[in-house]
Structure 1
Amino acid sequence: MSHCSAERPIIDVTDILTRLKGLSSAEEFFVTLGVCYDPKVLNVSRLHIMKRMGQYLAKEDFSDLTDQVIAARARATLERAYEDFATSSPLRHRVFKVLKDHDPDRPVTPGRAFVPFDSILKPFEE
């Protein structure tokens, strides 16, 4: 089940940046910006989607832009971030440091060997 209407909703763009800064849940961002989403995808990847949106927004320059343009760009960044995780797993994108640090495809840094938890649970052999 998706949270979406048949038509793209008209959103209130008045003072959009201030309003976005005041939001606290991922669902509020989707509703405020009129972006459709699948709750199953959002439940699994909400933090990753919001972090990626923030990364995309950080590259934007909103100086001297109208609220209409800002809202359109914010909507586009949220749609783009959502699509990143709707089509692949958070492990593929690794937006958080903890996931980047434990990339199995990256060689281990000398002096910082990873010890799997399973090996700690094995009985001590003399």
Structure 2
Amino acid sequence: MSCSADGRPFDLTDILARLKGLSAAEEFFAILGVSYDPKVLNVSRLHIMRRMGQYLASEDFSELPDSVIAARVRGTLERAYQDFAISSPLTHRVFKVLKDHDPDKPATPGRTFVPFESMLKRFGKE
């Protein structure tokens, strides 16, 4: 057992298996005892969870005790949350759709971009 950010104890036993069974971002924060601003989480939940997954992919948890694994996983969630608490999802572009449509990158030759606003113009009006 260890203490969460609010002082309540949380169970560290087999933390990776328990995390695999979760579905809501709030559950990850609760299980790991990480505090968060609901406004930040509502805007960036998918980005935070994706970034956490990217951070966890570089970790090797084999042969580590549960307490060390839990501390590392908690640290990755805190780090991922902080990435989006201080800047927008557009800054980090963790999803392919955002990476592909980066306005700072030149358009790929052979692919034409048609602004949505231009499709809304009435035909015959100049």
Assess same fold via TM > 0.5: yes
Instruction: Please tell me the residue identity of whatever aligns with 2:93.
Output: R
Match of 1:102 in 2: 101
Q: Secondary structure of 1:24's match?
A: coil
Structure 2: where are the runs of 5+ without partners? none
C-alpha displacement at 1:30, in angstroms? Answer: 0.2
Structure 1: where are the runs of 5+ without partners? none
Alpha-carbon RMSD: 1.3
Instruction: Please tell me the residue identity of whatever aligns with 2:36.
Output: Y
Tell me the distance in 1 between the aligned counterparts of 2:90 and 2:9.
34
Tell me the distance in 1 between the aligned counterparts of 2:123 and 2:56.
51
Q: Which runs of 4+ in 1 moved over 2 A?
A: 123-126
Match of 2:37 in 1: 38
Residues 43-62 of structure 1 aligned to structure 2 (within 5 Å):
43-62=42-61
Aligned residues, how many? 121
Residues 63-78 of structure 1 aligned to structure 2 (within 5 Å):
63-78=62-77
C-alpha displacement at 1:123, in angstroms? Answer: 2.6
Q: Secondary structure of 1:81's match?
A: helix
Match of 1:16 in 2: 15
Using structure 1 for the length normalisation, give the TM-score.
Answer: 0.91
Tell me the distance in 2 between the aligned counterparts of 1:62 and 1:114.
44
Q: Secondary structure of 2:84's match?
A: helix
Instruction: Please tell me the residue identity of whatever aligns with 1:87.
Output: I
The superposition leaves residues 73-111 of structure 1 with CA deviations (integer Å, 9 ceiling, x where unpaired) of 000000000000000000110001111111000000001
Q: Secondary structure of 1:63's match?
A: coil
Q: Secondary structure of 2:9's match?
A: coil
Residues 77-88 of structure 1 aligned to structure 2 (within 5 Å):
77-88=76-87
Report the identity percentage: 76
C-alpha displacement at 1:121, in angstroms? Answer: 1.4
Using structure 2 for the length normalisation, give the TM-score.
Answer: 0.91
